[in-house]
Amino acid sequence: MSAIAASSPSPAPLLAVEALEQSFGGVMALAGVSFQVPAGLIYAVIGPNGAGKTTLFNALCGFYAPSSGSIRFDGHELRGLPTHAIAALGISRTFQNLQLFFNMTVLENVMVGCHLRAKTGLLAAALRLPQVRREERRLREWARETLALCELADRAEQPAGTLPYGLMKRIEIARALAARPRLLLLDEPAAGLNDTETLALRELIARIRATGVTVLLVEHHMPLVMSVSDRLLVLDYGSVLAEGTPADIQADPRVVAAYLGGAVHYAV
Amino acid sequence: MRLAGLYACAAVAAALPILFPDNYFVTVVGISAGIRVILAVGLNLLMGYAGQISLGHAAFFGMGAYASAILTTRHAWPALLAMAAGLAVVGASAWLLARPILRLRGHYLAMATLGFGIIVHVVMVQATRWTGGPDGLAGIPPLNLLGWSVDTDLRWYGVVMAATLLAVWLSLNLADSQVGRALRAVHGSEFAARMLGIDTGRAKTRIFVVSALFAAFAGSLFAHQQGFVSPDSFNLIVSVELVTMVVLGGMASTFGAACGAIALTLLHEGLVVFEDYEMLIHGALLMAVMIFLPQGLFVGLSQATRRLWRAARRGG
């Protein structure tokens, strides 16, 4: 455990989670999880199924109310804030089970992603005042830029629900990026993708980091995680098992035991 | 181009009384259809776009109507001022009602709005001192716009058509803005909407209020145009009919809701001859639409036409 403290890189991390606990009835889904994500990194959270990875994401986003502990993002305490306020601070995410707006086109999905930068009031929109028209043009432009970054430009006008699964996952990333977050949470982005799509995903994640966005990644696809991440957090039964660089983690006997030794919760 | 549909509707509305002067169907049925279009377009903002069900919309329609009726007959308020007061009362009640009620989802939301509709109807029947009870209130003066009294069928036709086009224009604008996209996002996935910074509770509350205001506006026009209101015009059946219009026309489409309202109005008129069988035919038609055009008359038919058109062009 001392290795964690010694290897904390920068003095002011973007995200600092302290002793976070989340219980559902008697079940401790998170039993005092602490870690820090420095700005600008790709930081992965791995662990066997049921280790608490998605619970951690949901607690970060305000979907759950943690029982105790603290989540500090850029100096703000996130615990107790509603989800839309957390989003306004600069956190965005994708979902393990797609939460796309199937009733809209790809472009409209991404335009909803621009919501935080839209100032249109209800009355102004109803009367379609000139500033509303200008804003519509601006949002459309932003959305198209984001689509281009995600290589979805040619799909803009298609209904989101008619596209192949791999593309839908990519639209979710584009939509989350359109909010211009400082921290992007990706919940199993490679699940259900084929090898080509996974390779393209790796490039996309690297491109996202290059734009200055910090990425927090939950993923089971080990080759992807090990090749793309700067640091990893290993969760097991709601607790931190290990933390470090991909090389540290691969050499850690506890991780190897959790993944390979324990026949009960084996994961790829 | 965006408003091409609206201009087409305006042209048709203006042409009808010229082509068919003094025609019962144009003026009387037209007025009735226009008022229903305002109601349906307003309810569609809540149901079609935001995906929230209200089975109590006749209550807001009735509150708007009764506010105009009571203030003009009992307190001699000018019609426009009474209308504004009605809008204010309905807006405030809808806002107070929205926060607790919109936390509910699906069937529970439907039940809560249903309950609200029933309560308002009971008040209309029971609070005889104010509402005149089951007999209603008569002698409501016609609308007076800056000295121009709206007292003939043709004048009423003009006013109601202008109001209807205004409602359609407002609805089209809202739908085609970030506000409208945020509403559809709430419908699509509330989790994702919140994660993108949309305060879903606030968005739902505001559109509930807007939707209620459309109904109150229609109610006030209705009261002045009829000159008489009674609780029967605002009962549960009316709420259900409003929902039917939105679903019949096609959800999340302003013109769809408008078509649903017009179709249902014409159906009523057409079925007057078969009085005893009206509900039966009404129900059968609804079932047929739900089975064969589940997206609604307008959306379903326009998609079918587009497919045919494309096929014809490829063939030719």
**pLDDT, tens digit, for every residue of B14-31?**
999 889 888 888 888 999
| More reliable by pLDDT, A268 or A153 | A153
Helices (H), chain B: 4-19, 24, 30-44, 57-73, 79-101, 106-126, 128-131, 153-175, 178-188, 190-195, 200-226, 236-249, 254-271, 278-292, 297-315
What is the reported pLDDT for A11?
Answer: 61
* Interface mutation target, options A92, A101, A133, A172, chain B, most CBs of B under 10 Å: A101
Residues in B closer than 8 angstroms to A112, CB to CB, are: 181-182, 184-185, 193, 196, 198
A180-189, B82-91, B275-284: which range is least confident on average? B275-284
Strand order, beta sheet including A214-218? A91-93, A183-187, A214-218, A42-46, A231-236, A239-244
- Average pLDDT for chain B: 91
This model of the complex carries an ipTM of: 0.89
Q: Residue B49 pLDDT > 60, yes or no?
A: yes
CA nearest to B184 within chain A: A103
The pLDDT of residue A2: 40
**B182 versus B305: which is more confidently predicted?**
B182
Position with higher pLDDT, B8 vs A50? B8
List the single residue in B170, B195, B252 with the smallest CB-CB distance to A87.
B195
**To the nearest whole percent, how much of chain B has pLDDT over 70?**
99
With an 8 Å Cβ cutoff, the interface of chain B facing chain A consists of: 170, 173-174, 176-182, 184-185, 187-189, 191-200, 206, 210, 252
Q: Do the chains contact at A92 and B185, CB–CB below 8 Å?
A: no
Does the pLDDT at position A239 exceed 90? yes
| Closest residue to B177, CB basis, from A101, A103, A132 | A132
The angle, 0 to 180 degrees and rounded to 10, between the axes of the packed helices A130-149 and A165-178 is: 130
Which of A63-77, B21-35, B272-286 has the lowest average pLDDT?
B272-286
Q: What is the pLDDT of residue A49?
A: 85
pLDDT for the residue A268:
41
E-only strand ranges, chain A: 15-24, 27-37, 42-46, 68-73, 76-77, 91-93, 183-187, 214-218, 231-236, 239-244
Please write the tens of the pLDDT for every residue from B99-133.
888 888 778 888 999 999 999 999 999 999 999 99
- Residue B305 pLDDT > 60, yes or no? yes
Contact call for A87 and B197, based on CB within 8 A = yes
SS3 state at A173: helix
Q: Per-residue pLDDT for A264 more than 70? A: no
pLDDT tens-digit profile of B226-254? 999 999 999 998 998 899 899 888 888 99
| Candidates B173, B188, B197; nearest CB to A128 | B173
pLDDT level of residue B282 (50, 70, 90 thresholds): confident
* Residue that wins the pLDDT comparison between B181 and B145: B181
Cβ–Cβ gap B173/A126 under 8 Å: yes
pLDDT at A263: 42
Instruction: Give all domains of chain B, ordered by start, each with its CATH number.
Output: 2-315 (1.10.3470)
The proportion of chain B whose per-residue pLDDT surpasses 90, expressed as a percent, equals 66
Closest Cβ–Cβ partner in B179, B196, B252 for A125? B179
Percent pLDDT > 70 in chain A is: 93
Mean pLDDT of B39-48: 96
Q: Residue A101: which pLDDT band, with cuts at 50, 70 and 90?
A: very high
Going by their DSSP bridges, the two strands B144-145 and B137-138 should be labelled as unpaired
Chain A: which residues have CB within 8 Å of chain B?
Answer: 61, 63, 82-84, 87-88, 92-93, 95, 99-104, 108, 111-116, 118, 120, 122, 125-128, 132, 135-136, 139, 175-176, 179
Average pLDDT on A45-64 reads 92
Residues in chain A: 268
pLDDT at B1: 66
pLDDT at A204: 96
- At residue A260, the pLDDT reads 61
Size of chain B in residues: 316
d(CA B197, CA B117): 33
Q: Which of B75, B59, B72 is nearest to B118 (CA)?
A: B59
pLDDT of residue B288: 83
Residue pair A70/A18 in contact by the 8 Å Cβ criterion: yes
- Least CB–CB distance from B181: residue in A112, A122, A126: A112
pLDDT above 70 for A267? no
pLDDT at residue A3 is higher than 60: no
pLDDT value for B28: 87
The whole-number pLDDT of residue A31 equals: 93
Work out the mean pLDDT of chain A and round it to a whole number. 90
Higher pLDDT, residue B83 or B275: B83
pLDDT tens-place string over residues A248-257: 998 888 888 8
DSSP for B89-134 reads HHHHHHHHHHHHHTTS-HHHHHHHHHHHHHHHHHHHHH-HHHH-GG
Which of the two residues, B285 and A144, has the higher pLDDT score? A144
**CA nearest to B50 within chain A:** A103
Per the listing, tokens 């995200």 go with: A15
Task: Please give the pLDDT value at position B40.
Answer: 97
